[in-house]
Structures are given as structure tokens and as C-alpha cells.
A and B are shown apart, each in its own frame.
Chain A
């Protein structure tokens, strides 16, 4: 029961991150006007829908694990607030950019900067949960408001999240720009570079986890970790090779697989903790009845949403009528 609902939450987080990846692209390098337009065109129709993933994660978290939510929001008040500011600025700048023809550049810059801020702090927050420095006793946060998120481990998680999203988004865009070879090549180069850059960052995360997040390090050195690592590397390698060979559909699929595995790995290493070590999925969970209702609601929601989402993609990823 608990495992199921928490897995769903994790899966949704993955979804949010995909969305995040697409958006953050603007921050990753594009200089030319046409690049910016291509990005906006690719994002616009699914923009609001992607945004909702994050809301859904938060809402499911506070319904299913109210104590976990309360702890995170108290101990990580500062990075969460900064991330929230990023979300507000990004969300509004994106739409202002579209309708404010005269000041388009300025809004683009706001959008880009906020797109750096948000995923970086999302990574920092996830990292901080793992450090084991946030201590809770009987629902009270004992460790203050600075614990965990300023450690080298959490900060390198932030950088990793940035790199991951940048890579993912650039890979997606190689497909979205297939009509314009020059543009496609720009994104291909960006995708390759960011993909290569991920490897050393991942290494830093792993090395800092030894001191910065001992519980995570311990989990990552258990039997299943190398298996997962091999698969993740295979996907990562496949994505890079596919990009090199200009097999863009394949690259997109491999990148999706890679990111999913990274998140699954994080979830497995973190489980059963929500906030290591004091808040776990068991002691933070809502009563059984609420969880059961929540799973039912998720089921119905999925029946309603997945076809709608599929329809949205179907409508916008095929060519225009007439």
C-alpha cells in the first residue's frame, strides 16, 4: 500500500522533471532568435499541463504523507521559497513573452534566469532530504532552517539536476526542429556537450554522498546499485551515440530511459525514508482510509488524464492540417 502510493509519487516527480527539462532549455545556451522561437513553439501547447505535474506532486505529498510535507516545508523553507519565486517568474515571463511583442527579449531573459534557479533548487531540495542532517523529533524540526541544503552534496545535486534537464531538453528539441537542419544541429551539439558533462557531475555527486549523505552512499553500494548503474550508463551511452549518428528518435527514447532510471535509483536509495533518517513513508503516512481513497482517485484520474494527455501530444506532434 505505502510502497505503491510512494512509487506513484516518485513516478510523478519524474514526470515533473521531464517537463522541467523541456522548459529549462532556454537557459541552456540558445543565442539566436530563431532558436528561442523554436523552443517557445515546442513548449507552448503543453506548457500549462507540464506545470501541473509539480502541483500534483505537492498535493499528493501533503495528502498521503502530511508529516513529511510539514517537515520538508519547515526545514527547507528557504530553498523552497527561492524555488517558488523561480516558478512564479518563469511561468509569468513565458506567457508575457508571447503576448508582449515589444519587450520579448527582456521576458526571455527573465524566463531563462528563472529556469536556472528552479531546477537547481529542486535538486538541492531533493539532495538535502538525503543528507541525514535534518532531524525531527515528535513532529518538531530540531535542526533549524539551514541544515542539509548548503552541503556540497546537496549543491552538487542541484548542479546535476540542471545538467540533466538541459541535456533532456536539448535532446527533445533535436526532434522538434527536424524541419530546420541548422537549428537541429545547434541542439544536437548542445545535447552532446551537456550529456558528456553529466558524467563528471554524477561522479561528484557520488563522491560527495560518501560524507554528505552516508545513508544514500550505503544504499548505492549495495547489490542492486551496480546493475542499475550499468543500465543507466548503457542508456546514456546509447543516447550520445544516437545523437552522434543523428538517430534523433532513438536519442530521445534513450534519454527518457536514462532519466527515468536515475530517478528510480534515487527513489530506491531513498526508500523508505522521506526525510533521512527520521521521517519515513511509514511514520509520515496518512491513515489507511485516506491512502486507499487517494489510490482510487489516482486510478480514476489516470483513466481521465492519460488519454487526454496522449490526445494533446497527438494533436501537436503531427503536422498542421491543410
Chain B
């Protein structure tokens, strides 16, 4: 492999690792704030217990998310100095704002985690709310920077040089809105399903635990609200991509030939040589319907672009299909839960439904990871879409295999430790709660 590919691999690996913690860092504070709010309203100790235990898990996730985020901000320069030299002045703004949002989050997380005995209950809850809001804001700022890479705005190119920089226009680029909505909801969906899975697992062992029942209820509520919205925002995103990055959309859908009334291609093996997708399921006029809400609309195919500007069609197409299928499976589960709730006013207690929730736990994160593969690989070969190629931005530094191997090893090690520690937290939860059902008191 070349240094260039190692640089890309290291960036991809770092992002894939960080995004899990970032999404949980957005989702968990929301759950914690809801749980504590429920406690303040109902005074049922089970909610306070829940909130404290979630907070312990969140502290571990937050710390690892913070260091992996630091690594990323350095890697932008360590691996892509050519990109940062040009883009820093244009999209540094959202990163700076993200810095402040993250700072606020860190400060109030300190108050939240260590201030149980030091501030009043209301202030404590408000700190949690601030953590949740600033977490969402940091996510939004970072995603606008990525959106800019996909649909650059806020500058002109005069004689091959970047001029007339307007960082505000760059932040509010055409891709910002749909990317931000899609990612923020994704964080809630993924966190909701992951937390629901953990507590469904313990409920399967002990159906009477009020602790896990309450936890499952809150997590499912978040999942049930955010998942259908996420499907809608997915539709919004797909139509925006069709408009802004037709080559990416064509790769997502393995759509080679420009066509009116184009079919939707699901699965299969895209063949760049023959420009056909073998063994795929095809829904007539599906693609036209989805991208333009018109069964006869014309959809631009990959053939319109020079071969050198195609992304990796197979990886992008398959990742896209995996993301969409995960989304649909999760939608089905949330609809089941909705029906149960509307019909019986009951939280799901059925063994098979709980097992389904356990199995669906990782789906949200699977969708996030494959979704980012679609966004990032679908943008290639560009680092700034249509302006700068990724290859032009890479560092001249040789031997990039070394940092790639070291950071991969460190991250694998960290992931193992985090899973191990969280597992122990949860197991403690399982054994402690029956022993002290209402033993949690406020000091």
C-alpha cells in the first residue's frame, strides 16, 4: 500500500472510532437529562438511580471521545496539510465554534459528574441540560465543516487561487442542513437502540426489574421518536445529494446510465466495466420516484462523469444499502413498539420483541458507520468536492504505515478496555438494584 492509502486508512479508522463515541456523547446526555427530569417530577428513586448509572458510563465514553477528537484535529494537519492550508481559513470557523461548545460541555459535565453533593438538584439537572445542548451543538458545527467538503461554498477561485473567503457562507453551505439533521438524529437513534438493547438483555433475565423497565421505556421513547424522523431526513438527504453531488448519488444507487424513469437498484454486484449491476433486485421507476418524487424523472448516471472522477461504486453502493436496510429494520421495530403502546398502553414485554431489540442494538451504529462510508468514499477522489483532490492534500511525510499501525493498535486496545469496563458497570447494575431497590438517597 502507498503512503497515500495509509493516510486515508488512518483517517478513516480514526473517524470510524471517534464517531461511535461522538454519537453516544450526543445521545447519552439527552437520556440522562430525561431520566433526571423524570426523577425531579415523579420523585421515583428508580430514575435517579438510572441517571447516576448512565452518567458513569457516559463519563468513560466522553473521555475516550475527547481524546480521539483531539487526535482528529491534529491529524487534519499531520495527514492533510495541503487541505488545511487552503481550507483552514474557510472552515476553521465551525471548528472554533465547536471548540467553544465542547468547552461548555466539558465544564458542565464536570459539574454534573462530580457535583451531586455540591449543587442543588435543579442546578444539577440544568447542568445536564447544558451538557446535552452543547453536545448537540458541537456535533452540528463539525458536520457543517464536513458538509462544506461535499458542497464547497463561501469562496472564489481566482487564477487558481482561493480568494474572497466568506466563512459564514461556507458554514451555511447547501449540504449543511440535511447533513446536520441526518447526523444529529442518527446519534439519537443509535444511542436509543444501543441502550434499549442493553436493558432488554437484562429484562430477559429478570422480567420484574423496575430499573431496567424504566430504562428501556426511556430509551425506546427516544428511539421511537427519532427513527421515523430519521427516515424522512434520509429522503431529504438523498434528494439533496442528487442535486449537489450527482456522481455520489449515482454510485450510491449503482446507477450507470442516465435514464428517465430509472429503476431502484438494490444489492447486486456493480460492474464498472460493463456498467451493469449483476444479480440486483430492481424496482421499476423507483429511483426516479425517490430522487425527484416523479416516476418519469431523469436521473443522471455515472457515464456522465470521466472515469477518473468515479468513487468506488461497489463499496459506496453496498454501504448505502446496508445503511438503508438497518434504518428500515429499526423503523419496523419502533412501529411495533408504537402499536403496543397505543393499543395496550404497555411497554413491550414479549420475549421475542425483547430479543429483537437486543439483536437490533448495533444496527444504529452499523448505519452510522456505513452512512459515513457513503458520504466520505462517495466524495472521492475529491477532498473538496470539485476543487481539490485528496491526493493533492496529503502530507509529503514518508513511512505513514508506522502511525497507522500504532494508532490502530492503540484504538483496538482502547475499544476492548471500554467494552470491558462498561460491561462491568452494567453487570454491577444487574446485581445491585434488587439488593437496594430504593436505597439511593440524595445527600
Whether A290 pairs with B92 at a CB distance below 8 angstroms is yes
B85 touching A289 by the CB < 8 A rule?
no
Asked whether, in the complex, the Cβ of B89 is within 8 Å of the Cβ of A66, the reply is: yes
B168 is an interface residue with CB less than 8 A from chain A: yes
Chain A residues packing against B (C-beta within 8 Å): 44-49, 51-52, 54-56, 58-60, 62-67, 69-74, 77, 80-81, 84-85, 87-92, 94-96, 98-100, 139, 141, 145, 286-287, 289-290, 293-294, 297-298, 300-301, 304-305, 308-309, 311-312, 315-316, 320-322
Contacts of A88 in B (CB 8 A): 67-68, 70-71, 410, 414
Chain B residues near A85: list those with CB within 8 A. Answer: 406-407, 410
Beta-carbon contact of A77 and B60 below 8 Å? no
CB pair B110 A70 closer than 8 Å: no
* Interchain CA distance A96-B62 in the complex, whole Å: 12
Given contacts A69-B84, A73-B77, contact A294 B92 (CB under 8 A): yes
For residue B411, which residue of chain A has the nearest CB? A88
Name the CB-closest residue of B to A141: B396
Of A77, A98, A287, chain B has the most CB atoms within 10 Å of the CB of: A77
Q: Scan residues 257-288 of chain B and give those whose CB is less than 8 A from a CB of chain A.
A: none
How many pairs of A and B residues are in contact by the CB < 8 Å rule? 217
- For A145, what are the chain B residues with a Cβ–Cβ distance below 8 Å? 397
Closest 8 A/B residue pairs (Cβ)? A63-B92, A66-B88, A73-B77, A286-B89, A91-B67, A95-B63, A48-B106, A70-B81
Map CB proximity to A onto B79-101 as digits: 1 under 8 Å, 0 otherwise: 00110111111101101111110
Q: Say how far B22's CB is from chain A's closest CB, in angstroms.
A: 14
CB pair B73 A70 closer than 8 Å: no
Please give me the residue from chain A that is nearest to B397 by CB atom. A77
B443 within 8 A of partner (CB): yes
Give A139's nearest chain B residue, CB to CB. B85
* Set of chain B residues within 8 Å of A72, measured between Cβ atoms: 77
Task: Select A320's contact among B88, B102, B117, beta carbons within 8 Å.
Answer: B117
Smallest CB-CB separation from B95: which chain A residue? A59
Report chain A residues within 8 Å CB of B117.
320-322
Q: Are B77 and A69 in contact (CB under 8 A)?
A: yes
- Which residue of A77, A301, A322 is within 8 Å of B78 (Cβ)? A77
Cβ–Cβ contact B81 & A74, under 8 A = yes
**Sample of 18 further A-B pairs with CB below 8 A, known A311-B111, A315-B119:** A44-B114, A46-B110, A48-B66, A52-B102, A59-B95, A72-B77, A80-B74, A81-B78, A84-B71, A84-B74, A85-B406, A92-B63, A94-B63, A96-B417, A141-B396, A290-B89, A304-B104, A312-B110
B218 within 8 A of A: no
Within the assembled complex, what's the spacing in Å between the Cα atoms of A224 and B70? 36
Interface code B419-431, partner A: CB below 8 Å = 1, 0 otherwise? 0010001000000
Residue pair A99, B111 in contact (C-beta under 8 Å):
no
Report whether A289 and B84 are in contact in the complex, using a CB–CB cutoff of 8 Å: no
* A48-B62 contact given A62-B92, A63-B89, A297-B97, CB 8 Å threshold: yes
Interface of B (DSSP majority class): helix
Expressed in whole angstroms, the minimum distance between the Cβ of A302 and any Cβ of chain B is 9
Q: Is the CB of B70 within 8 A of A54?
A: yes
Known contacts A63-B92, A70-B77, A99-B60; is-contact A45 B99 (Cβ 8 Å) = no
The reply to whether A59 and B96 form a contact with Cβ atoms under 8 Å apart is: yes
Name the one of A49, A100, A297 contacting B106, with C-beta atoms under 8 angstroms.
Answer: A49
**16 residue pairs from A and B, CB less than 8 Å apart:** A48-B110, A52-B99, A52-B102, A55-B73, A59-B73, A60-B96, A62-B73, A70-B81, A73-B77, A74-B396, A88-B68, A287-B89, A293-B168, A297-B96, A301-B96, A316-B115
- In the bound complex, what is the Cα–Cα distance between A69 and B395 (angstroms)? 13
Q: How far is the CB of B407 from chain A (nearest CB, A)?
A: 8
Q: How distant is A132 from chain B, measured CB to nearest CB, in Å?
A: 20
Specify which of A45, A66, A294 is in contact with B110 (CB 8 Å cutoff). A45
Chain A residues, Cβ within 8 Å of B95: 59, 62-63
Q: Is the CB of A73 within 8 A of B78?
A: yes
Partner of A66, one of B92, B115, B119: B92
Interface residues of B in 297-331 (CB under 8 A from A): none
Residues in A neighbouring B98, C-beta threshold 8 A:
59
Q: Does any Cβ of A come within 8 Å of B401's Cβ?
A: no
Select from chain A the residue with minimum beta-carbon distance to B417: A96
Within 8 A of A (CB), among B41-70: 56, 59-60, 62-64, 66-70
Give chain B residues whose Cβ lies under 8 Å from the Cβ of A66: 84-89, 92
Q: Is the CB of A58 within 8 A of B410?
A: no
Q: Inside 8 A of B73's CB, which chain A residues have their CB? A: 55, 58-59, 62
* Contact call B102/A312, Cβ cutoff below 8 A: no
Interface residue? B165 (CB, 8 A): yes
B380 → chain A closest CB, angstroms: 22
How many Å lie between the Cα of A95 and that of B400 in the bound state?
29
In angstroms, Cα B417 to Cα A317, docked, is 32
Find chain A residues with CB under 8 A from B119 CB.
315, 321
- Tell me how far the C-beta of B397 lies from the nearest C-beta in chain A, rounded to whole angstroms: 5
Closest to B425 in A: A99
B89 touches A308 (CB 8 A): no
Contact of A297 among B62, B71, B93, B104 (CB under 8 A): B93
Q: Say yes or no: is B240 at the interface (Cβ < 8 Å to chain A).
A: no
User: Which A residues are CB-close (under 8 A) to B166?
Assistant: 289
Tell me if B107 is interfacial: C-beta within 8 Å of chain A. Answer: yes
